[in-house]
Structure 1
Amino acid sequence: MPPTQAAKFPLPKSATNLRVVPDAQLDLRPTPEIIAELHTFRPITSEKNVWAFWDKGLSAMYPSYQHTVTNWVRKLGPSWTIRIVDLQDGSPNHIYNYVDKTWFPACFQNHTMNGRHAAQHAADLVRLPLLYEHGGVWMDVGNMLHTHLDRLFWNHLTSPTSPYEMAVWVITGQIRKQWGSFGNYMLAARKHCLFIKHWHAGYQALWTNRTNASGMHTEPLMREIGLAEGMADWRFGDRVREMSDYVAHMLMGDRTRKLVDVETGWDGREFYERKVFHVEGIENGILGAIKTDYDGYKQAALFGTRLDEADVGKRKEAEEFVVEMLERSHMYKVYHNSAGGTPALGDLVKRDGFRDVDHRPGTFGEMYRYGTVHWESMREVERMLPEETDEEMIYATPTMPAVRVVD
């Protein structure tokens, strides 16, 4: 169980663009009380829901992720309800307590999903039905949040004059190289958003007569959008097809924004450009990885530097890293390297000796975690403007391949 936040830190003098969040805006209950509440079922009374998933339940999470989730509760305060949905029989937060079984393919319903990334693909199947049925924000449990969700997404979606129904994390080049490719690990949507419904329908259709994602890139729906060619630049050049299977959910999101539904006339490009609030998601999400050449060990060393480290240079470097993350990014995504190679921070926090490295007492990791709750950046959240694209539209339906493709 994560420790109750006890240590308090003054705002570092080097933090010229951070301010202190008043305690009255936070939920500062003891950790055991927050954890106990997270284990309960709470009726849905609004769209201000944070949805996340761990197939075996909250108690089975790695300490880093438990710490992240409890800090969401602290940061967001009482107006948001955080729920960790699972697949455990009898759990108050089982997915079927929130959405009907019909949202899911047969292999999900009969527990025959398999393959190396079965848990991640179960999460892909879970996230969109929850957003469609109830509204709110989806966050992967590795998202160490810096900016309050009201400022980041929700105020833009709920303003009386807002045209937006959805907000996305734009990561052009990381999955596909065309502008507008977006992540599925940070999403916001109003209840009954049609983009969300169509996206899920297409992804669910991919799982027909399947138990795993192996070879999914060969399915007709996937061939329409192509491979995750952006991942070739991530040292995955020889594994792009395999990685395309892994990120099929995000590729189907891109198919949805290129889709013109021939049955209803719904236009994905028009929706994406006019009704979606776009936030830059690379520097705002993986700035820590960028600054350390995507080396999880380097990030662990910075977070793990002790506050009383005798080497002044090391202390200065660690403090500068923590402050820059909080000032210049909206979150810190603790991802894992699915293709092997240099471990990412998300790989390390699952290993003995590293499980608490991003929040260990007496380290800059502890200071950083305190800062994610008690400090906030003074910079504004900027909406990225859609860029012109010459990508061809797909004239089809959410679940059936194209009948024709035109310029």
Structure 2
Amino acid sequence: MVKFTLPESASGLRVVPDSQLDLRPEAEILAELHTFRPITSEKNVWAFWDKGLDFMYPSYRCTILNWVRKLGRSWTIRVIDLVEGSPNNIYNYVSKDWFPDCFISRTMDGKHAAQHAADLVRLPLLFKYGGVWMDVGNMLHTHLDHLFWNHLTAPNSPYEMATWIITGQIRKQWGSFGNYMLAARKGCIFIKNWHNCYKELWNGRTNAVDFHKLPLMKDIGLAEGMADWFSEDKVRGMSDYVAHMLIGDRTRNLLDLNTGWNGREFYENKVFMVEGIQNGILGAIKTDYDGAKQIELFTTPLDEPDAVKRKAAEDFIIEVLQKSHMYKVYHNSAGGLPALGDLIKKKGFEDADHRPGTFGEMYRYGTVHWEPTREVEREVPQPTNEDLIRATPTTAAIREPDEK
């Protein structure tokens, strides 16, 4: 990796000492990632690529490598897959009892089958072993110890779970959270209840079409946070797609009639919450959600002769490194301008966010060797006017006959 000097304009960044990093050669890190490593602590990063590490897009593989470098040797990063005979096959970690029939038989279908397989994988791993789940598009800026883990493991800490608050992105009610960045202690009941509910949606099904019509989903409703941008049909379709996050919201509003477990009390008292919009998609916000603009900035040559373009690219990468805890490479699944995640899959753009000799290369160096000086702020739970859902993780609330 080429070395960069911290720019003078980066007043909100500091250099991470090499002694805190894992700077082994790329080939050595990749070789280790391909092996099964016994689980000896809760400091696990879990990620997923159904076909295995070798078939990842280059951007995502770069991200995984930089997690290893950033987090050092106290964390173990694992990329779980569905490849038969793979050392990192999901069944080397959890039993088939955790999954619906279509997952076990490999008959899941539909446009987003791989993403929904990841939804089924993430929570059993967190419940059984603890750690942090990260989607492979999460380009990390802040060390996970500072971001989540120190808060969960401090002496007498009340927290058992940490979430990425994205109110308004999925549902409009305060407290909705993303499933693509999530931390939990081993044995967290919220995680188990959430997974059991989502697994139940798949009972007798092979895809997520019309999930929003199922009784468990009706307990929480549609992803109405998307209603301002899309037609009603798209909102219903997107609700099917993000059903895992909607079920997460159902879980945080659940009063389990069988056990008395109160999801709202748990969420307000035992969950460490971090604002996840500015801290997750600042790069997209700064470019009006236009992936092509982000590509243009990342691929600006370091020796670009146009001083205005050169300054714009440097200012962009410094701002996102200083003011956000990660940079989520997401896809635009509902139409509109292509997002960065859509473009890095296309020929000619596979290395656009880390191309040698560009500001993308400087950015990637910065995700490892630099870190924000600002502290991680905890979001304070806000009052809610939502009724508790009186049901169980796997059975819906009883409705009056005239309720739809």
Following superposition, the deviation at residue 404 of structure 1 comes to 6.3
Following superposition, the deviation at residue 231 of structure 1 comes to 1.4
1:374-385 aligned within 5 A: 374-385=369-380
Cross-structure match for 1:351: 346
Does residue 289 (structure 1) correspond to residue 313 (structure 2)? The answer is no
**2:164 counterpart SS class:** strand
Match of 1:122 among 117, 120, 134: 117
Cross-structure match for 2:203: 208
Q: Output one character per residue of 1:37-67: Cα deviation in whole Å (capped at 9) or x when no partner.
A: 1000000000000000000000000000000
Match of 1:268 among 246, 252, 263: 263
How many residues are matched? 400
> d(CA) in 2 for partners of 1:87 and 1:218?
29
**2:50 counterpart SS class:** coil
Is the contact made by 1:284 and 1:329 (CA closer than 8 Å) also made in structure 2? yes
1:233-272 aligned within 5 A: 233-235=228-230, 238-272=233-267
> d(CA) in 2 for partners of 1:232 and 1:303?
32
Q: Which runs of 5+ in 2 are unaligned?
A: none
Cross-structure match for 1:367: 362
Cross-structure match for 2:272: 277
Q: Output one character per residue of 1:84-110: Cα deviation in whole Å (capped at 9) or x when no partner.
A: 000000000000000010000000001
Following superposition, the deviation at residue 232 of structure 1 comes to 2.1
Cross-structure match for 1:199: 194
Moved more, 272-281 or 340-349: 340-349
**1:84 counterpart SS class:** strand
**RMSD (Å), alpha carbons:** 0.9
Match of 2:179 among 184, 205, 219: 184
Cross-structure match for 1:313: 308
Following superposition, the deviation at residue 360 of structure 1 comes to 0.1
Moved more, 339-348 or 118-127: 339-348
Does residue 137 (structure 1) correspond to residue 136 (structure 2)? The answer is no
**1:250 counterpart SS class:** helix
In the alignment, residue 287 of structure 2 is paired with which amino acid?
T
Identical amino acids, percent of aligned pairs: 74
> d(CA) in 2 for partners of 1:344 and 1:404?
40
Is the contact made by 1:395 and 1:402 (CA closer than 8 Å) also made in structure 2? yes
1:53-132 aligned within 5 A: 53-132=48-127
Is the contact made by 1:98 and 1:130 (CA closer than 8 Å) also made in structure 2? yes
**1:285 counterpart SS class:** coil
In the alignment, residue 53 of structure 2 is paired with which amino acid?
L
> d(CA) in 2 for partners of 1:234 and 1:42?
45
Is the contact made by 1:396 and 1:404 (CA closer than 8 Å) also made in structure 2? no
- TM superposition score normalised by structure 2: 0.98
Does residue 342 (structure 1) correspond to residue 334 (structure 2)? The answer is no
> d(CA) in 2 for partners of 1:299 and 1:93?
33
Is the contact made by 1:395 and 1:404 (CA closer than 8 Å) also made in structure 2? no
Following superposition, the deviation at residue 235 of structure 1 comes to 4.3
Q: Output one character per residue of 1:283-328: Cα deviation in whole Å (capped at 9) or x when no partner.
A: 0000000000100000000001000000000000000000000000
In the alignment, residue 155 of structure 2 is paired with which amino acid?
P
Is the contact made by 1:231 and 1:237 (CA closer than 8 Å) also made in structure 2? no
- TM superposition score normalised by structure 1: 0.97
**2:280 counterpart SS class:** helix
Is the contact made by 1:224 and 1:255 (CA closer than 8 Å) also made in structure 2? yes
**2:374 counterpart SS class:** coil
Cross-structure match for 2:167: 172
In the alignment, residue 382 of structure 1 is paired with which amino acid?
E
Cross-structure match for 1:298: 293
Is the contact made by 1:203 and 1:252 (CA closer than 8 Å) also made in structure 2? yes
The structure 1 segments of at least 4 consecutive aligned residues displaced by more than 6 Å after TM superposition are none
Q: Which runs of 5+ in 1 are unaligned?
A: none
Following superposition, the deviation at residue 237 of structure 1 comes to 5.4
> d(CA) in 2 for partners of 1:256 and 1:209?
22
